[in-house]
């Protein structure tokens, strides 16, 4: 392929694959991650999926990238993109917000099927340049943009042979280099969650559910990879405590040693056993529960969007 031909190459993707949250967890996908972009690009992504554009930064369809200049104290310019040509995401909503018109509104969550993911985290520009060159970035000291594009392509191809994605964590005592970002080389490895694909008994973050045998509605904060559900709810009358407090306490007593009740009384600075147990239950069943791992047997029905009791 001639240089001018690959310079304008676009790696196309037909559409973004959809998956249920439970299946994403079962397949150990990486996410959620976020992709901030313009409103126009966001609509295009929904229609035709993600595209990988190869070329110079800030021209045509490439809105970001390093400018053509020496990279800090190194003799070479940086590659066009930090991790090569691909589709970029971040695990940090605030980072995505900067590229999403300054708002988290409309910010889509994605999951990545990238079992071969390389994770790096450098604070030094020299170490970053060493990593680039080790992975095929063979740019010379000239400030020739065409050479830099070719060198970035070389690095990308080298990385693609070894990895499905590269994750630069960009985390230390402060933000490191270009910050938290994941580059995915094949757009077919990108998935979005479709709630309609979930089974009746499957939950995903932001779902609402009824706590069994009560009229308390809880919000699902997160679901772990092994299926543990974490919820938040408001319960000013402590109806959940009334329903499950005794069951919870009996279970704790059955699995603890004989000094359990005595330790509760001491640790809560209580004068009586009854006072200690009440404080212990108030702690575990507060009026405002936040991100609490919840027993599956205490979970009632999942509410549909807009559904009320």
Domains of the chain: 3-193 (3.90.228), 198-303 (no CATH)
pTM value is 0.77
How many CB atoms sit inside 10 A of residue 166's CB? 25
**29-74: pLDDT as tens digits:** 999 999 988 888 888 888 889 989 999 998 877 878 999 999 998 9
- What is the Cα–Cα distance from 36 to 32, expressed in whole angstroms? 13
pLDDT digits (tens, 9 = 90+) for 232-254: 999 999 999 999 999 999 999 89
The helix, strand and coil proportions of the chain, stated in percent and rounded to the nearest 5, come to 35, 25, 45
Please give the Cα distance from 139 to 299 (Å, whole number): 58
**Predicted pLDDT at 6:** 42
What is the structure's pLDDT at 112? 97
Count CB-CB contacts under 10 A for residue 292.
15
pLDDT band for position 144 (cuts 50, 70, 90): very high
* Burial class (CB within 10 angstroms; exposed 0-12, middle 13-18, buried 19+) of 44: middle
Output the CA torsion sign for 80, 86, 89, 90: negative
Tell me the average pLDDT across 129-137. Answer: 97
Average pLDDT over residues 258-265: 89
Record the tokens describing residue 127, joined without a space: 């170490």
Q: Which of 173, 229, 274 is nearest to 21 (CA)?
A: 229
Alpha helices in the chain (DSSP H): 3-7, 21-26, 39-48, 93-98, 125-134, 145-162, 239-255, 260-267, 273-284
């Amino acid at each position: 392929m001639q240089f001018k031909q690959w310079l304008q190459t676009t790696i196309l993707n037909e559409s973004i694959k959809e998956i249920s949250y439970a299946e994403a967890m079962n397949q150990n996908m990486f996410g959620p991650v976020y992709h901030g972009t313009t409103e126009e690009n966001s609509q295009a992504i929904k229609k035709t999926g993600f595209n990988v554009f190869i070329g110079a930064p800030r021209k045509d369809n490439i809105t970001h990238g390093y400018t053509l200049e020496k990279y800090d104290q190194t003799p070479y310019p940086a590659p066009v993109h930090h991790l090569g040509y691909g589709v970029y995401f971040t695990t940090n909503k605030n980072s995505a917000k900067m590229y999403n018109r300054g708002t988290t509104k409309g910010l889509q969550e994605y999951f990545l099927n990238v079992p071969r993911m390389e994770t790096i985290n450098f604070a030094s520009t020299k170490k970053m340049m060493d990593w680039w060159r080790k992975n095929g970035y063979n740019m010379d000291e000239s400030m020739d943009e065409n050479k830099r594009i070719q060198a970035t392509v070389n690095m990308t191809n080298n990385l693609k042979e070894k990895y499905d994605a590269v994750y630069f964590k960009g985390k230390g005592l402060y933000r490191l280099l270009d910050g938290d970002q994941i580059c995915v080389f094949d757009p077919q490895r990108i998935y979005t969650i479709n709630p309609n694909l979930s089974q009746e008994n499957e939950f995903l973050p932001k779902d609402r559910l009824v706590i069994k045998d009560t009229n308390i509605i809880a919000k699902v904060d997160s679901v772990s990879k092994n299926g543990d559900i974490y919820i938040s709810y408001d319960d000013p009358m402590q109806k959940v405590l009334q329903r499950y407090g005794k069951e919870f306490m009996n279970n704790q007593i059955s699995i603890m040693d004989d000094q359990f009740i005595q330790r509760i009384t001491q640790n809560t600075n209580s004068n009586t056993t009854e006072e200690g147990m009440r404080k212990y239950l108030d702690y575990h069943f507060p009026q405002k529960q936040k991100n609490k791992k919840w027993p599956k047997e205490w979970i009632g029905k999942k509410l549909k969007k807009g559904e009320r009791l």
